[in-house]
Amino acid sequence: MERGNWKIKDKKAVYENPWISLDHYEVIDPSGEDGIYGVVGFKNEALAIVPIDEQLHTYLVGQYRFPVDTYSWEVPEGGGALKKSNKLEALRELKEETGLIARDLYPFLEMQLSNSVTDEISKSFVAFDLETGDPQPDSTEKITLLRVPLSDAFVMVEKNLIKDGLSVASLMRLELILIKNKLTTYSQIKGWFTLPS
């Protein structure tokens, strides 16, 4: 069996839980040498949402992240089931973490998060026409909600106060869109996203 210019001699499932799997491969690498490869498989798609209200504020969530043992400020994000609509899953995640209900949601970034060791894909959305409600976080999440000017969120990335990769990429991509297209008002920003691609 081949994968690109790698030959797979053997594959063994090492570990699995409801969110990830780990497979060990015995391979012949592109140079023709015997080698090994470990791949973490994700059972959900990573989704990030940047909500923008009419005053050009956004909402960040703060929470403790176990793997890196630190508190993290992030855009609302989470996992969406692979067999469900990523737009509906993003709307669900936004409501769970912030209580916000968005009437308009547009994709604007897709990434391979760490493609040397995982198959994880992420999609980022921008959300408009927001209605506030009560957050309903997962029982494992203790979340702090922070409403800040969108420009302040960009500065938080610049000053390395936001370190979560999906949040950094989403906010920087959004800032680039705003700068390149000279978008300074809510109606201009929303209008750009509603243009046919």
Instruction: State residue 195's pLDDT score.
Output: 85
Render each residue's pLDDT in the chain as its tens digit; 197 residues: 998 999 999 999 999 999 999 999 999 999 999 999 999 999 999 999 999 999 999 999 999 999 999 999 999 999 999 989 999 999 999 999 999 999 999 999 999 999 999 999 999 999 999 999 988 877 677 889 999 999 999 999 999 999 999 999 999 999 999 999 999 999 999 999 988 76
Instruction: State residue 161's pLDDT score.
Output: 97
Rounded Cα distance between 20 and 39, Å, is 10
Instruction: State residue 83's pLDDT score.
Output: 87
Instruction: State residue 108's pLDDT score.
Output: 96
At residue 56, the 3 state secondary structure works out as coil
Contact 18, 81 (CB under 8 A): no
Rounded Cα distance between 132 and 145, Å, is 12
Beta-bridged to residue 62, according to DSSP, are 73, 144
Backbone angles phi, psi at 81, to 5 degrees: -60, 135
Rounded Cα distance between 71 and 62, Å, is 7
Instruction: State residue 184's pLDDT score.
Output: 97
CA angle 46, 51, 57 (to 5 degrees): 140
pTM summary value = 0.92
Instruction: State residue 175's pLDDT score.
Output: 98
Longest dimension (CA), the chain: 58
Instruction: State residue 139's pLDDT score.
Output: 66
Token digits of residue 53: 């209200």
Q: Which CATH number fits domain 45-194: 3.40.50.300, 3.90.79.10, 3.10.100.10, 3.30.1330.10?
A: 3.90.79.10
Neighbours of 158 (CB within 10 A): 13
Contact 162, 156 (CB under 8 A): yes
Instruction: Write out the H or E segment, with its range, that includes residue 16.
Output: strand 6-16
Instruction: State residue 117's pLDDT score.
Output: 95
Of 23, 21, 20, 53, which Cα lies nearest the Cα of 37?
23
Rounded Cα distance between 6 and 75, Å, is 37
Contact 119, 42 (CB under 8 A): yes
Q: State pLDDT tens for residues 130-139.
A: 999 988 877 6
